[in-house]
Amino acid sequence: MAELLRLHDPAAATEMADAEAASCDHPWSSGMYADSLTGQDQVYAYRDANGQVLGYAVLLIILDEAQLQNIFICQPCQRQGHGRRLLQQLMHSAASQGAVRMLLEVRESNHAARALYAGCGFVESGLRKHYYRNDHGPREHAVLMEAML
Ligand SMILES: CC(C)(COP(=O)(O)OP(=O)(O)OC[C@H]1O[C@@H](n2cnc3c(N)ncnc32)[C@H](O)[C@@H]1OP(=O)(O)O)[C@@H](O)C(=O)NCCC(=O)NCCS
């Protein structure tokens, strides 16, 4: 069974950014990951039983509220159920740390992620208009979603 490994070393930032750039249209920069690794965020690698990294996630817990800052599965490992299991483990971990609710925001066009979240019990709770910048084309709305833990 795959497991969460908490990361603290900012040296992991480049590997995370490279893995996300190969897996996702709008990746975080290594600087963003470095900030997360040295700040209040909880940064996790999701590894299989052989230690192979399947994906990564960034969570922020403030009092009884958890914010899912980022989640991705490495491109070759996508569509095998890892994303759902990673999110379920994160929800469980957040609940065990005292969070009662998890919040997130997702690009309106990211149908894969929105389906993943809906399948894990998240409901849409709002829209942040023109929130995300796009390299080409107009800005994109953020869909706000939340789930009780
Ligand atoms: C979103 C993401 C994490 C899903 O991870 P995954 O391991 O591929 O997803 P799973 O195999 O666990 O699938 C779980 C559910 O997600 C949805 N889903 C996943 N990929 C999908 C796709 N390409 N198209 C439509 N739905 C999809 C489905 O509802 C799926 O359930 P199903 O298999 O019963 O149909 C992955 O696609 C990813 O890393 N994307 C790039 C990064 C990203 O967009 N992160 C979210 C930022 S808000």
Q: Determine whether 44 is an active site residue.
A: no
DSSP-derived pairing of the beta strands 42-47 and 53-62: antiparallel
22 lines ligand 1 (CB under 6 A): no
pLDDT of residue 43: 98
Q: Is 105 a catalytic residue?
A: yes
Assign a CATH topology to domain 3-148.
Answer: Aminopeptidase (3.40.630)
CB-ligand 1 contact for 95 (6 Å cutoff): no
pLDDT at 120: 98
Q: What is the pLDDT of residue 112?
A: 97
Q: What is the pLDDT of residue 33?
A: 98
Helix ranges (H only) for 39-128 are: 82-96, 111-119
Per-domain residue ranges for the chain?
A: 3-148
Q: Is residue 120 within 8 Å of 147, Cβ to Cβ?
A: yes
The residue whose CA is least distant from atom 43 of ligand 1 is 72
* Catalytic position from the list 33, 46, 117, 140: 117
Q: What is the pLDDT along the chain (149 residues), one digit of tens a residue?
A: 899 999 999 999 999 999 999 999 999 999 999 999 999 999 999 999 999 999 999 999 999 999 999 999 999 999 999 999 999 999 999 999 999 999 999 999 999 999 999 999 999 999 999 999 888 888 999 999 999 99
Which pLDDT score is estimated for 61? 98
User: Residue 137: what pLDDT?
Assistant: 83
Amino acid 16: pLDDT: 97
Q: Is 119 in the pocket of ligand 1 (CB under 6 A)?
A: yes
* Nearest protein CA to atom 1 of ligand 1, as residue: 113
Ligand 1 closest atom vs CA 115: 29
Q: Provide the 3-class DSSP secondary structure of residue 74.
A: coil
* Residue 87 zone, left/alpha/beta (φ > 0; ψ -120 to 50; rest): alpha
